[in-house]
Amino acid sequence: MEIFLDTANTNEISEILEWGIIKGITTNQKIFLKEKGCNFEEQSKKILKMVEPHPVSLEGPNNLDELLEEAKKYYKWGKNVVIKVPMLADGSGLKAVKILESKGIKTNVTAMMSVNQAMLAIAAGASYASLFFNRIRDSGSDPVDVVKKSRAIIDCGGFKTKLIVGSIRNPSDVVEIASANPHIITIPYNILKQMPYHERTVSTLDEFEKAWDEFKKVEKQC
């Protein structure tokens, strides 16, 4: 299972890259809005270069023709570009997947809430399929069940699609998602920063440190 970072902030990316744990970046319009008016193209190119060769998912318009046009432009920004394609209600997102993948442009079908949607994205040949964990729960479905069944479709059918799960609101979500065995969990910076901490670990290390200090006071010199 791989970990992606869900952000468009270069400082956050730089910090977490040093942890040596992330294998890709996911972004969306709301994430870019947090960057307070940055230039989308400039920021995207910076991110692509920072994490190369790992994939970076960039989101475009929700209109098929506009999406295809933007995808061609994004694709020139870096070899690790992945185009986010919305799961549009009229099925046109699936058409976009077919067109882009046939041109060698990787796609990530996004904003999916059901096994039916995931099945279609997988069958269409998407490189990635993104399920929105807490938004699935908000809609009244069991997100763990949706993830497990979607992963089973990929495994049983021998499909190439990698399943990404996002929409994470607290560290306990990560545990639930991991138990459902997706290929990738994409985690926001503020959640990832909480994950190394456990109060009992802190107190244990403090105890060991004090014991070491006491040992050094009475240590016999060779």
CATH 3.20.20.70 for domain 2-197: yes
pLDDT, mean of residues 4-32: 97
Amino acid occupying residue 169: R
Helix (H, G, I), strand (E, B) or coil at 197: coil
Q: Which H helix or E strand runs over 147?
A: helix 143-157
- Distance, CA of 40 to CA of 58 (rounded, Å): 10
Confidence check: pLDDT of 221 > 80: no
Answer yes or no: 72 catalytic: no
Helix (H, G, I), strand (E, B) or coil at 200: helix
Q: What is the pLDDT of residue 205?
A: 97
pLDDT, mean of residues 30-38: 93
Confidence band for 220, pLDDT divided at 50, 70 and 90: confident
Domain spans, the chain: 2-197
Confidence band for 166, pLDDT divided at 50, 70 and 90: very high
Confidence band for 222, pLDDT divided at 50, 70 and 90: low
Catalytic residue among 84, 103, 148, 193: 84
- Distance, CA of 215 to CA of 86 (rounded, Å): 61
Peptide bond into 171 cis (omega under 30): no
Helix (H, G, I), strand (E, B) or coil at 82: strand
What is the maximum alpha-carbon separation in the chain? 79
Helix axes 40-51, 10-17, angle to 10 degrees: 0
Q: Which H helix or E strand runs over 136?
A: helix 133-138
- Distance, CA of 220 to CA of 108 (rounded, Å): 62
